[in-house]
Amino acid sequence: MHRVMIEEASYDNCREAVNRAFDLFPVRIRDRRVLVKPNVLRSSEAEEGIVTHPAVLRAVIERVESEGPARIVVGDNPGLVSYGANEACFRRTGLLEAAGDYYQNIGNEAEEVALDSELAERVSVSRAVLEADVVISLPKFKTHGLTILTGGIKNSYGILPGAQKARLHRLAGNPARFNDVIVDVFRLRPPDLFILDAVIGMEGNGPASSDLRPIGRILASDNGVALDAVMARMMGLDPAALRFLETARRHGLGDFAPETIDVIGRLEVIPGFKLPHLDAGAGNLSSAIQELLHSRTVLRPEADPDSCTGCGTCVDQCPVSALVMTDDLPVVDKELCITCFCCQEICPEKAITLK
């Protein structure tokens, strides 16, 4: 039986929930190498809700310190466009200050390992991940255009430094295969403890949407599949409809069936929670998700003319110059686009959606 904790929390008092997580899911810290991995998707302000909040990171560090001595490292590989600006991302989000001397640019040293995946035989993984005795993952409660939600399993995609994330995005080519490859990466080193920042969550067109949703919870578990399943249920989703959870279960990483999970706390569906755009529209939600995830159509970014300010940032940042400004609106060249979704993640107006 898996266990998932749900505790009420704010950023002012999240220490309490974090301490309870460590009490419920004890990990041996003393004299060990401990990697704490927040979700640092990209450079942003903490209030934008795109990254794990610094208050949660601080509370985790203080608890780990209290159980030390330990060799603590705090690090992540920010996604796609920000991978050359690791420290800058940590600084702007407030996570650098929260991490103090424990911050390390874990993208600087990597080791090549075999990947059990149809997309690639080998990938480079940050050495700090491979060398850690204990990995503590700090995901954020968010939606995601390709996986529907991003929580415990997707947070491990950040163990890949450099441009590999974009490469695997491109090789995957469609949402179903992308869902499989994030599980393949997760399998390289499943974390020992997950503490999920759901104090302020994100709905709508995540993972960098401006649709923030106060949830006031910290979730925790020692199993990423069970954690993400509970998160799905809070979003009003059937976990069985999520391809990456099915793939993870097939690999023996855990279970998502409600009868296999002991929820410690109150699991409540968030009323009217907005999911990423599902083309199937109304009707059966599970079918709509399945249709999206099994779609053979390659998704392409599209700018919303009502939100786009024509700033040109996406055009400048596209790694393959697939975007051209036409009448003050970026237009994608479908032949050139490698579906890395850098443009969606970087757009300051959150104007780009996947169509």
Chain contacts with ligand SF4 (rule: CB under 6 A) = 301, 303, 308-314, 318, 320, 322-323, 330, 332, 337-343, 347, 349, 351-352
Question: What type of residue is 56?
Answer: V
Q: Rank residues 237 and 303 by Cβ distance to ligand SF4 and give the closer one.
A: 303
Cα–Cα dist 294/246, whole Å: 13
| Residue 113 neighbours by CB under 8 Å, 6+ apart | 122, 123, 124, 125, 130, 188
Q: Rank residues 246 and 345 by Cβ distance to ligand SF4 and give the closer one.
A: 345
Handedness of CA 191, 85, 57, 205 (dihedral sign): negative
Which contacts qualify for 126-129: CB closer than 8 Å, 24 or more apart? Answer: 126/75, 126/77, 126/159, 126/160, 126/161, 128/35, 128/73, 128/75, 128/104, 129/35, 129/37, 129/159, 129/189
Tokens of 239: 């976990």
Q: What angle do CA 9, 243, 235 make, to 5 degrees?
A: 30
| Residue 86 neighbours by CB under 8 Å, 6+ apart | 75, 76, 77, 78, 105, 106, 107
**What is the smallest separation between the CB atom of 341 and ligand SF4, expressed in angstroms?**
5
**What is the smallest separation between the CB atom of 333 and ligand SF4, expressed in angstroms?**
8
**What is the smallest separation between the CB atom of 147 and ligand SF4, expressed in angstroms?**
16
Cα–Cα dist 138/227, whole Å: 12
**What is the smallest separation between the CB atom of 338 and ligand SF4, expressed in angstroms?**
5
**What is the smallest separation between the CB atom of 174 and ligand SF4, expressed in angstroms?**
13
Cα–Cα dist 335/100, whole Å: 45
Q: Rank residues 226 and 342 by Cβ distance to ligand SF4 and give the closer one.
A: 342
**What is the smallest separation between the CB atom of 167 and ligand SF4, expressed in angstroms?**
12
Q: Rank residues 284 and 321 by Cβ distance to ligand SF4 and give the closer one.
A: 321
**What is the smallest separation between the CB atom of 317 and ligand SF4, expressed in angstroms?**
7
**Residue among 193, 188, 70, 182 nearest 139 (CA):** 193
**What is the smallest separation between the CB atom of 83 and ligand SF4, expressed in angstroms?**
14
Q: Rank residues 6 and 89 by Cβ distance to ligand SF4 and give the closer one.
A: 89
Cα–Cα dist 139/60, whole Å: 13
Helix (H) or strand (E) holding 194: strand 193-202
Q: Rank residues 53 and 165 by Cβ distance to ligand SF4 and give the closer one.
A: 165
Q: Rank residues 69 and 348 by Cβ distance to ligand SF4 and give the closer one.
A: 348
Q: Rank residues 38 and 207 by Cβ distance to ligand SF4 and give the closer one.
A: 207
- How many CA atoms lie within 13 Å of 256's alpha carbon, on the beta-carbon side? 25
Handedness of CA 212, 351, 77, 295 (dihedral sign): positive
Handedness of CA 144, 80, 44, 93 (dihedral sign): positive
Residue 197, strand partner residues: 140, 218
Helix (H) or strand (E) holding 206: none
**What is the smallest separation between the CB atom of 6 and ligand SF4, expressed in angstroms?**
35
Q: Rank residues 28 and 334 by Cβ distance to ligand SF4 and give the closer one.
A: 334
